[in-house]
Amino acid sequence: MSSSIRRWVETDTGHRVPNHKSKCRHFHGHRYRWEAELEGEVVQEEGVSEEGMLIDFGDVSSILEEHIHDVVDHAFVVYERDEEAIEVLSGLSSDHRTVVVPFIPTAENLAKWAFEQVSPHIYSSYGNKLRLSAMHVRETPKSWASWHPPTQ
């Protein structure tokens, strides 16, 4: 029997979709929500802090803060081959937070990126098969994308 939990963090992050047919090619930003979904078995070990949980929500939050929030909050995410945008951003002061990525920063691609940021940090010492099962990224209140790793 497996259970799942979700925890999210939000950031204010800029991007653009350089080839987009309409307004998404302009520099703009979103209040992104990055939601981690974890699966595993509830810890049965008596007397430990995690008894009855998959993992402490606070521990998931700390991982999301460090590996998502602190990387892209109040930052501009730019595709490494978006030369026009790279040129503009490189003219800003050196403390401007620019995150260059090897993909067009759509919600779909950002969900996969976020999964790869977070997944290595999700583990448990209780043998409860804890794993990150998906990352969900909300770009607008009506628009979400999810990344699920391929099943092995």
Q: Which residues are catalytic?
A: 24, 69, 139
Report the residue count for the chain: 152
User: In what helix (H) or strand (E) does residue 140 lie, and over which residues does it extend?
Assistant: strand 131-140
Cα 147 to Cα 19, 122, 133, 138: the distances in Å are 22, 16, 9, 12
- Cβ atoms within 10 Å of 34's Cβ, excluding its own: 25
C-alpha 25/C-alpha 15 separation (Å) is 9
